[in-house]
Amino acid sequence: MPTAEPSPVAWVQVMQAMVARELVEGFGLPERQAADLLGVVRSSVSQYISGKRLGPKLARYLADEGARRIARTTAQRLMSTAGDARLVLEAAIALEEMFAPTGSAGRTGGSGAPPSAVHRDTPRWLRNRIAGEQNAVAECMRLAQRSRDELTRALFRQIASDSLRHAEIVASIAAYLDRGVSSSVPTGITRADVEHLIEREHAAEKSSEGDLAPELGGVMRILWDSMEADEQKHELLLQKLLESADPVPPRRRSRPTF
């Protein structure tokens, strides 16, 4: 008989337990600090760690590499944002989407075989990439704490944020590949939406009275240049989004066939 999937509330509790383990066992935080980040009492964290709460049910998800990856990424984000309950909720939704039956496109549907275009070593490569990005996050946060001025801290925090975002992107791509999907199209937006955003980006750039970069030095110049580089990246991403497909509202798009 198949095991019943948790209720919506239970998904949140499962993710809280997994993140608590990552915070305490993976990152070495005291249980009290982990509880503060999660917004729960310390006794809950203690019970999650000891297995007294959700013990047998939790084992299934702790044994899954994708689920642990979600929990670890969420733990890192909680530490970098000083705690945000929405992060755990988002992670719980991702966990539910990964395990709950969703038909032929879900984790439990189909043959589960990766597309032929994806090399058999790709999952290992993606795991290594995620691990590398996560290590970079931890190191940058350590250096940010050692820094004695706000601008240097901002620099390392920005790199940590970028690395964390890269890890999340790779994890999302890996989840699609696990379901046999190697290509996707934009949904839920229109071409006009993207073009309007490009116009707003251009308007924001024109509103600047000039280039401040030549008057700045050191870390100040580095941070300013990083913002300019981000603007160029945004332009590239939006243009490629327009080229990848002609986004249309969901009600007009038929279900993509992969």
Residue 251, Cβ density class (10 Å: 0-12 exposed, 13-18 middle, ≥19 buried):
exposed
Q: Say if residues 45 and 20 touch (Cβ distance below 8 Å).
A: yes
- Domain borders along the chain are 1-100, 118-183, 186-258
Residue 58 token pair: 């939790």
DSSP letter, residue 113: P
pLDDT in tens, the chain (258 residues): 344 555 566 788 888 899 999 999 988 889 998 888 888 888 889 888 888 887 777 888 888 888 888 999 888 888 887 766 678 878 888 888 787 654 333 333 333 443 444 456 677 777 788 888 888 888 888 888 888 898 998 898 888 888 888 888 888 888 777 777 777 777 788 888 888 888 888 887 776 666 777 888 899 899 888 888 888 888 888 888 887 755 444 444 433 332
